[in-house]
Structure 1
Amino acid sequence: MPKRLILKLSGELFRSQEIALDLNKTKAVAQEIIKLKKDYEIGIVFGGGNIFRGRDVSDVKLNMATAHYIGMTATLVNALALKSIFDLLDVASRIISSLDFSEVIGVSNKFDLNKYFASGEIIIFAGGTGNPFVTTDTAAVIHALEIKAEFILKGTKVTGVYDLNPNLYPQARQYRKLSYQEYLQIPAATILDKVAATMAEEHHLPIYIFKWGKDMLKKAAKFKANGTLIN
């Protein structure tokens, strides 16, 4: 029986220098995911930061709840793009949204998740948790618990967890393995939302953080992508 996992992706993986949602980048992401499909049942959660980040509007004084809803809607845009690529590649997938976008994506029942997985579909979770002030990291943990995933893989633009911000401090040291308590005590650790980390710790759910790249996802699924394992 295939193992089941949640893949948490940064929305930035869909962005190019010129375009917020680059379909060539999206296709490259889809092709990497397909390589895992034979051995794993896959649920996907991603952010919408390639399109909109609520934290970037502080100078406009936009209502923060509204900003979060805009961000959650951005995850649906990414979900539709990824599903469209899967369709072109003849790979079965389905979007399940925490917000009501049924006119756009149709109606899917969360209680039928096992049936969808059994039919070979990749499940794309959109809309975050459906609530403002909650990150997509937390959404990933919640969905992982819903589907009884064995672990979460978080693909980002950095290689893992560091003791300092590696973009500012060249001497920053990467951790290869951490307990959740160790992670929560690192002041500079922001790559994984600490609410999500606390929830994952409570439910004994491992999270592996790695730098996205060609052929790295298959390595990450074995915790061998030079990333950081938190458990």
Structure 2
Amino acid sequence: MTDTGLAAAEELAAAKRAPATKYRRVMLKISGEALMGDQGYGLHPPTVERIAREVKSVHELGVEICMVIGGGNIFRGLSGAAQGMERTTADYMGMLATVMNALAMQSALEGLGVFTRVISAIRMDEICEPYIRRRAVRHLEKKRVCIFAAGTGNPYFTTDTAATLRASEMGCEAIFKGTKVDGVYDKDPAKFPDAKRYDEVSYDEVLQKNLKVMDASAIALARDNDKPIIVFSLDEPGGFRGILSGEGTYTLVHG
């Protein structure tokens, strides 16, 4: 068999082994706090690597992955503004924190052999690419993980809104919101043992009941662009891959 024929046979065999997935291209949104592990702030390298392994396991299914990571483990614009800092300045500092987290995740993913690009809404050409939609789409088509940093590049917008915006621009079929709990509850399950988990909930219900899935702007943008949001536990090993394979516990937010 020729080299070309052998490569085609190996690709077909890999496709047969890989479980079928519902989505071809997805956005994974995680908070900056998810990267700090049990620490009170900053980055916890073993936790970053664990999440990178979760992303790699999904990437191996052939799914094209976008990511947005918050910056709350380093600096949160709203908390800075609450302490008297001018809001625009505080938000820009928060955007820079997301770039630091994106670079940490890129390092972890590439250490696992996953080609990754950090794409920033604020130009900083020495360390990451500027956001150009067509170039980002091409990276995804080449099976590179794209981590979108610096939010939307504008103050007063959260990384939830940035994730929904980039998901819409990239043509993602769903937004995966990784949290510390396995879905959306009517109240905080850590404080209330009788908290009820939703299997499915509508965008409008999230807004009306203030369910804290994402901020209102992000939910409205997802609704207007028909982007389902899947809320799941990032602390559950194999949870991200499992949901894409039709297993696991999660809440689906849709129209």
Matched, 1:102 2:112: no
Q: CA deviation at 1:100?
A: 1.2
Q: How does 1:32-181 map to 2 (within 5 A)?
A: 32-38=54-60, 39-107=62-130, 109-181=132-204
Secondary structure (helix, strand or coil) at the match of 2:209 reads coil
**Whole-Å Cα distance in 2 between the matches of residues 130 and 183 of structure 1?**
26
**Whole-Å Cα distance in 2 between the matches of residues 31 and 173 of structure 1?**
31
Secondary structure (helix, strand or coil) at the match of 1:168 reads coil
Task: Report the CA distance shift for 1:59/1:111 in structure 2 as closer, same or farther (over 3 A).
Answer: closer
**Whole-Å Cα distance in 2 between the matches of residues 225 and 176 of structure 1?**
11
Kept in 1, the 8 Å contact 2:164–2:175? The answer is yes
For residue 23 of structure 1, the aligned residue among 27, 31, 45 is 45
**Whole-Å Cα distance in 1 between the matches of residues 118 and 151 of structure 2?**
12
The structure number with the bigger radius of gyration is: 2
Partner of 2:5: none
**Whole-Å Cα distance in 2 between the matches of residues 177 and 59 of structure 1?**
35
Give structure 2 stretches of 5+ with no counterpart: 1-14, 16-22
Task: Report the CA distance shift for 1:59/1:42 in structure 2 as closer, same or farther (over 3 A).
Answer: closer
The amino acid of 2:163's aligned partner reads A
Secondary structure (helix, strand or coil) at the match of 2:230 reads strand
**Whole-Å Cα distance in 2 between the matches of residues 191 and 209 of structure 1?**
8
Secondary structure (helix, strand or coil) at the match of 1:35 reads helix
C-alpha root-mean-square deviation of aligned residues, in Å?
Answer: 1.9
Q: How does 1:182-221 map to 2 (within 5 A)?
A: 182-187=205-210, 189-213=211-235, 214-221=237-244
Task: Report the CA distance shift for 1:107/1:72 in structure 2 as closer, same or farther (over 3 A).
Answer: closer
Q: CA deviation at 1:113?
A: 2.3
Q: CA deviation at 1:226?
A: 1.5
The amino acid of 2:25's aligned partner reads R
**Whole-Å Cα distance in 1 between the matches of residues 91 and 247 of structure 2?**
34
**Whole-Å Cα distance in 1 between the matches of residues 73 and 248 of structure 2?**
24
- TM-score, normalising length: structure 1: 0.92
**Whole-Å Cα distance in 2 between the matches of residues 62 and 200 of structure 1?**
31
**Whole-Å Cα distance in 2 between the matches of residues 56 and 113 of structure 1?**
32
- TM-score, normalising length: structure 2: 0.84
For residue 34 of structure 2, the aligned residue among 13, 17, 22 is 13
Task: Report the CA distance shift for 1:98/1:210 in structure 2 as closer, same or farther (over 3 A).
Answer: same
Kept in 2, the 8 Å contact 1:176–1:229? The answer is yes
Partner of 2:19: none
With 51-60 and 126-135 compared, the bigger mean Cα shift is at 51-60
Aligned residues: 230
Give structure 1 stretches of 5+ with no counterpart: none
Q: Deviations over 1:178-219 (max 9, x none)?
A: 1111111113x1231111111111111100011112111112
In percent, how many aligned pairs have the same letter? 36
The amino acid of 2:135's aligned partner reads D
**Whole-Å Cα distance in 1 between the matches of residues 253 and 82 of structure 2?**
35
**Whole-Å Cα distance in 2 between the matches of residues 106 and 113 of structure 1?**
9
